Structure formats: structure tokens, C-alpha cells
Amino acid sequence: MLAFLTCSTEGCGKPTTDVDHIQSIRERSDLRLVWANLRPFCHSCHSRHTARTQGFASGRGYEPTFRGSLGTVGANA
């Protein structure tokens, strides 16, 4: 995680504790260790993102914007 010092959620700025797969391992297992398919998160942003993308969050309106090696992704992109 030394390559990613801060969370990629726009406006967060907390230290990175978790790494997220941009394309899920379920969908693209071949990309699980490819740096370009990873983005840094603090633990709370990663938990929110996982809940939203894997269907655990329901209608809370949370749509973060991420910055990373593949460009900016999200509602405000």
C-alpha cells in the first residue's frame, strides 16, 4: 500500500488501509493482482463502497467519486 498513500474517495484524504478491485474478482479474476485494477481506500470508504456495489446498502444515495490510474469514476465524474 506504499504506492497509494491516501484514500481515493474525493475529499476524504485519510490514509489508505484497504485496496479495492475496480473490476471485481468475481467478474475478472485474471485482474486480481494487476495494479491498474486496484484503487486505495480508507477502511470506512471501502466498507461503504463494498456495501453499495455488492447490494448491502439500500437507497442511501451514496455515490462517491474516485480518482485513480484509470481516470475519475463516479457520479461527479
Burial code (b: 16+ CB inside 10 Å, e: under 16) for 13-26 equals: eeebebbbbbeeee
33-64 confidence digits (pLDDT tens) = 999 999 999 999 999 998 888 876 555 544 55
**Sign of the Cα pseudo-torsion (10, 59, 29, 74, in order):** negative
pLDDT above 60 for 24: yes
Residues sharing a CB contact under 8 Å with residue 42, sequence separation 6 or more, in sequence order:
7, 9, 12, 14, 15, 16, 17, 18
Considering its fold, how many domains does the chain have in total? 1
Region 18-30: mean pLDDT is 92
**pLDDT of res. 52:** 87
Q: State the residue range of the domain holding 28.
A: 18-69
pTM of the model: 0.64
Length of the chain equals: 77
Residue 29 falls inside a structural domain: yes
Q: Determine, yes or no, domain membership for 39.
A: yes
Instruction: Answer whether residue 11 is part of any domain.
Output: no
